[in-house]
A and B are shown apart, each in its own frame.
Chain A
Amino acid sequence: MATVTVMDEPEHFSFPVLAKLASVGMMVLGLIAFGLTWIGGVELAMTGWVIAAWYCLGFPLFATLFISISHLSSSGWHVVIKRVPEAMTRYLPVAAGTFVLIALAALFSDFYDWAHPVDHGDLHSELIAGKTAWLNPSSFVIRMAIYFGVWIAASWALVRASRKQDVDGDVKHTTTGRRVAAPYAALFATTVTFASIDYIMSVEPTWFSTMFGVYQFAGIMESGFAMLALLLIFLQQTGYLRKSVNENHYHNVGIWLLASATFWAYIWFCQFMLIWYSNIPEETQHYLARWEGPWFWVSFGLNPLINWVIPFLILLPRPNKRNPKMLAIAAFFALGGRFIDLWQLVAPRSHPVDGIPHASAGVWTVVVVGTLVGVLGLFLFVTLKALEKAPLLAKKDPYYVESVHHHL
């Protein structure tokens, strides 16, 4: 039974020089772009930084959850590709570094309205004052340390179990992984919900949505699977995993991408519809600011189109999910959509004019995409560097044979 197909393909990944140069180039470009955005003031620069840092943090977070749900569902198909999410988790400590700047922004700037509230004697000030028990700089920084502590500890434990198995091939490491995965799945849900409230939702401190955590989770899953698909295609293009990863594995990743894009659309629409329906000013202010002017075309046009409609239609037919080219196109759309989603959340803050909320920033703030390019370069550099550290195939994983023979 256990006849493992002999594969003549490189066992270890070596970071191609061209890719190294490209990711460093992205970092340099991003640094220049980030520097230039400071001309527009702290608010513009930090808008770009918050989007970029949260966007790229999504990938390692997705990776830890992907490994966890694979353990919890006793999944076998993912073993030949599991080194990629494992390498993605290595970006977490670096991501913690990128979040230091956000902590500094909360401590020393007015980027977050709640950080240093000024009492104007109006209802706006009163609402913010009522939230300072949670939204204040010192507890913001403490919470940040807790979130990253949980994420880094869990990713370290999950990857360590997998590395140890490479040495002795003992099944007990799979059990260890499963033991870590179960509590982590619950911790992940809690920490990601609170983190999304802290970093993104609190940009508009008087607005709240109880669906915000799951909304961000959906976006993280969609962009995560898109990145996983692109990294796999990149590896195959550069001559790795040519025989062990085939269209059946792409099919599974494609199913996940299709499902998570649809889940995103479902949650995105649900959040809007419930707020639209109940029509309570505290909740509608967020959407009212995006309902008028050019932001409408971004929030209600581009956002669902690029995040869901296009990837959905591309990935619906079975042959497209099995075709790396089509999968890559859908993945690029999903990654672009994630930026648009975060950009329309962070950039246009709602401020009252004559008591009516309006968006304070124009669509020209799209220039912050430059900062994202830089942080994305950092993520790719760290991930591909981490991919060199371990063999590309976990040949001693008990599910390895099942994964090689995966067939859909």
Chain B
Amino acid sequence: MPDEENKLFFGVFTDEDDCLEAVKACTEANFTYHDVLAPYAVHGLDRAMGLPFSKITWVTFLCGMMGTTIAFLGMGYMSHWDWPLNIGGKETLPIPAMIPIMFELTVLFGGVCTMLALFAFCFLFPGKQARLFHARQTDDRFVIVLEMDEDFNEAKAREIFTANHAEDIREVDADYDINSGPEGAA
């Protein structure tokens, strides 16, 4: 498990495939990941890191169902329970006419809640200061950050990073950030 106290060990890679190979080797060697950072979604990275399948689909499903229910109860309250409305001689609780709106709110709630849940899981909010391990981490560099816990084998990690053409390898404090570090001013 990641620990706030541990020092961090990271390698910077210039190529997606090198990074992916290094991640596979690290997973095999049972290193604890602090994070793997890439400027875009790298195909197969989650599986290489050994991450479990995302639970976000449940958020989408349950919030979608909530949207369906709210749409039904809302329309029912407005046109049937609170004040029955006669529209074109149809029933006051017209199921077929409600289905399009129930569908729309399912999609709306499912979509918006998925986005909000992603923000919550990733602890993102407007104005949040990005934590950078490398100045080009959001441009064209890939960074593997490992936790230096009690099982950490530095020689092994260095060997894996070097074998996969790491451009830079560093050992830093737990709260390292280039904005706060010595290079931060640059």
Considering the complex, which residues of chain B in the window 34-69 have a beta carbon less than 8 Å from any beta carbon of chain A?
43-44, 53, 57, 61
B96 lies within 8 A of chain A by Cβ: yes
B130 lies within 8 A of chain A by Cβ: no
B97 lies within 8 A of chain A by Cβ: yes
B99 lies within 8 A of chain A by Cβ: yes
For A407, give its contact among B44, B61, B97 (CB under 8 Å).
B44
How many of A's residues come within 8 Å of B, CB to CB?
10
A276 lies within 8 A of chain B by Cβ: yes
For B57, give its contact among A276, A317, A407 (CB under 8 Å).
A317
A272 lies within 8 A of chain B by Cβ: yes
Task: State A263–B99 Cα separation when bound (angstroms).
Answer: 15
Nearest to A278 among chain B residues (CB) is B88
Considering the complex, which residues of chain B in the window 89-124 have a beta carbon less than 8 Å from any beta carbon of chain A?
96-97, 99-100
Task: State A276–B88 Cα separation when bound (angstroms).
Answer: 11
B96 touches A272 (CB 8 A): yes
Q: How far is the CB of B4 from chain A (nearest CB, A)?
A: 33
B100 touches A273 (CB 8 A): yes
Q: How far is the CB of B174 from chain A (nearest CB, A)?
A: 35
Q: Which residues of B contact A273 (CB under 8 A)?
A: 96-97, 99-100
A316 lies within 8 A of chain B by Cβ: yes
Per-residue CB proximity of B137-158 to A under 8 Å, as 1/0? Answer: 0000000000000000000000
Q: Which residues of A contact B99 (CB under 8 A)?
A: 269, 273
Q: Which residues of A contact B53 (CB under 8 A)?
A: 318
Q: How far is the CB of B61 from chain A (nearest CB, A)?
A: 7
Task: State A279–B44 Cα separation when bound (angstroms).
Answer: 53
Task: State A48–B170 Cα separation when bound (angstroms).
Answer: 75
A364 lies within 8 A of chain B by Cβ: no
B97 touches A277 (CB 8 A): yes
Task: State A318–B96 Cα separation when bound (angstroms).
Answer: 30
A318 touches B97 (CB 8 A): no
Q: Which residues of B contact A269 (CB under 8 A)?
A: 96, 99
Q: Which residues of B contact A279 (CB under 8 A)?
A: 88
Nearest to A269 among chain B residues (CB) is B99
Q: Which residues of A contact B96 (CB under 8 A)?
A: 269, 272-273, 276-277
Considering the complex, which residues of chain A in the window 259-284 have a beta carbon less than 8 Å from any beta carbon of chain B?
269, 272-273, 276-277, 279
Q: How far is the CB of A361 from chain B (nearest CB, A)?
A: 25
Q: Which residues of B contact A407 (CB under 8 A)?
A: 43-44
Nearest to A319 among chain B residues (CB) is B53
Considering the complex, which residues of chain A in the window 238-297 have a beta carbon less than 8 Å from any beta carbon of chain B?
269, 272-273, 276-277, 279
Nearest to B99 among chain A residues (CB) is A269
Task: State A277–B90 Cα separation when bound (angstroms).
Answer: 9
Q: How far is the CB of A259 from chain B (nearest CB, A)?
A: 15
Task: State A272–B96 Cα separation when bound (angstroms).
Answer: 9
Q: Which residues of B contact A276 (CB under 8 A)?
A: 96
B97 touches A316 (CB 8 A): no
Nearest to A276 among chain B residues (CB) is B96
Q: Which residues of A contact B88 (CB under 8 A)?
A: 279
Task: State A160–B110 Cα separation when bound (angstroms).
Answer: 46
Task: State A273–B57 Cα separation when bound (angstroms).
Answer: 30
Q: How far is the CB of B150 from chain A (nearest CB, A)?
A: 36
Which of B44, B61, B96, B97 counts the most chain A CB atoms within 10 A?
B96
Nearest to A266 among chain B residues (CB) is B103
Task: State A349–B99 Cα separation when bound (angstroms).
Answer: 27
Q: How far is the CB of A157 from chain B (nearest CB, A)?
A: 36
A318 touches B43 (CB 8 A): no
Task: State A91–B179 Cα separation when bound (angstroms).
Answer: 68
Task: State A273–B95 Cα separation when bound (angstroms).
Answer: 10
B43 touches A316 (CB 8 A): no
Q: How far is the CB of B66 from chain A (nearest CB, A)?
A: 16
Task: State A273–B97 Cα separation when bound (angstroms).
Answer: 7
Task: State A279–B97 Cα separation when bound (angstroms).
Answer: 13
A316 touches B44 (CB 8 A): no
Task: State A295–B165 Cα separation when bound (angstroms).
Answer: 70
Q: Which residues of A contact B100 (CB under 8 A)?
A: 273
What are the nearest 7 A-B pairs in CB distance? Answer: A273-B96, A276-B96, A269-B99, A272-B96, A277-B97, A407-B44, A273-B99
Query: Would you mind naming 17 contact pairs between A and B with Cβ atoms under 8 Å apart?
Result: A269-B96, A269-B99, A272-B96, A273-B96, A273-B97, A273-B99, A273-B100, A276-B96, A277-B96, A277-B97, A279-B88, A316-B61, A317-B57, A318-B53, A318-B57, A407-B43, A407-B44
Given contacts A276-B96, A279-B88, 7 further A-B contacts (CB under 8 A): A269-B96, A269-B99, A272-B96, A317-B57, A318-B53, A407-B43, A407-B44
Q: Give residues in B with beta carbon < 8 Å to A.
A: 43-44, 53, 57, 61, 88, 96-97, 99-100
